[in-house]
Amino acid sequence: MVGTYDAESTNSSNRIAQTHIDLDLFFSKKSSTKDINTLKNVSAIKRSVRNLVLTNTFERPFHPEIGSGIRDILFEPMTPITATVLNQKIEDVIENFEPRARLIGVRAQPNLDRNAYEVTIEFYVVNAPTELVEMSMMLEVLR
C-alpha cells in the first residue's frame, strides 16, 4: 500500500508576506509620538504609482529617466489618439519603475467639460495577488 505525501503538512516554512512601508509625503504627524506617518502595503504602492504618473522626466535628481512625461500630452487636443498615447505612457512608467505592482490596465477617458482626463489604473500588489487595486485620478492642465 502506497501512502500519500502532503507537502503542506510537512512544510515547516515560517515565510511571512513582505510588507511595503513608505513615508507619508504629506508629512502628517502621529498624534501619540509626533513622528511622521507611514503608509503601508496597498496605500504605499498607490501613492508610489500616483507619484510616478505625476513626475515629469528630468525632474528627479540623479534619476532623469524616471517620469511619465504626461504634462506635454495634457496640452494636446483631446482626441482618441491622445488618450491612447496617455494610456501608453502611464503603462510604461508603471511597468518600468514600480516592481511592487503588476499592472492590469489603464483607461484614460477625456472629460471635455473640464478639459481633463479621468484616468483609472488597475493593478495587483505583487505579494497579495488576490486583491485587485483600482485607483482613479483626474489629470488636468493647471496654468
109-121 residue pLDDT tens? 999 898 899 999 9
* Separation between Cα atoms, residue 58 and residue 131, nearest integer Å: 33
Domains and CATH numbers, the chain: 18-25+35-140 (3.10.450.40)
Are residues 102 and 129 in contact, defined by beta-carbon separation less than 8 angstroms?
yes
Alpha helices in 15-120 (DSSP H): 42-54, 71-74, 80-97
68-111 residue pLDDT tens? 989 889 889 998 899 999 999 999 999 999 998 999 999 999 99
On whether the pTM is more than 0.85, the answer is no
Beta-carbon count within 10 A of 26 CB: 9
Cell 499592472 belongs to residue? 103
Dihedral over alpha carbons 43, 45, 46, 50 (to 10 degrees): 140
